[in-house]
Homo-oligomer: A and B are copies of this chain.
Amino acid sequence: MAAGGLRRKHKRQRLQQVLDAAEELFFRDGYEATRIETIADSASVAPATVYNYFATKPNLLMALAIRHVRTALPERRAYLADLPDDPLAAILGFERLLAEQAMRHLSRECWRVILSAQQMEPGARPSRTGARLNNLIRGHYVRLLTTYRDRGLLRRDIDLGHLADLIVGITTWDFSRFVATETGDIEDLLRMGVPHVRLILEGLMTEEGARLLAASTAEGDAPRAVGVAPDPVPA
């Protein structure tokens, strides 16, 4: 069957073992409370091997975050491929989806670590991979916004890159406030975000878009995200 490349194959397997073990333990016992040695044991691997793969514990956590963002990608694509009429609803629905995905495998404590790692030591490895994550989301928003501009709801003179940055910025900020709490749920997060996003959008819509936005004001809450399936486990 697979002739050579055993080295690489086993490496991938071990990496997944470590990530799986870490995910389980971070979720169950918390990030700080979980020791590298425990992860190694649980993954049937020597602690030194964990360090062969990940220089630091935060790095391991970032890798976990990236893996989740990767495996959940198809679900986000599906959402973006079938957007509602109302751009505000679209953005809030997307936020809900992102939040749900985020909560699916990583605890708030983990996200606190991830988000704070981006602040400190800009340029360090964890920070840069954090930037990659942000960039991925930014790309999604550019696509989303482009759709609505093409539908004639957003003014054509707007730089969608900048707008996407703005939205990612404020929603990330809201999300970091969200994970800073231990009690609030995703509905609270969205309630917090609605006025921000609305304020941003109000000035940037065409007349038709403004009509739609006004209409959606009456309706109240943000729409539910699309059906949330568990992540497909890659072979």
Which residue numbers of A lie inside 8 Å of B, CB to CB? 1-3, 6, 9-10, 41-42, 44-46
Contact = CB atoms under 8 A, between A and B. Distances in A.
Given A1-B41, A3-B41, A6-B45, 6 more contacts: A1-B42, A2-B41, A2-B44, A6-B44, A9-B44, A10-B44
Nearest to A13: B44
10 contacts: A1-B41, A1-B42, A2-B41, A2-B44, A3-B41, A6-B44, A6-B45, A6-B46, A9-B44, A10-B44
A24 B10 CA distance: 22
A2 to B, nearest CB: 6
Nearest to A3: B41
A6 B44 CA distance: 7
A29 to B, nearest CB: 14
* Interface-centre pick from A3, A6, A9, A10 (highest chain B CB count, 10 A): A6
* Interface-centre pick from A3, A44, A46 (highest chain B CB count, 10 A): A44
Contacts of A42: 1
A3 B42 CA distance: 10
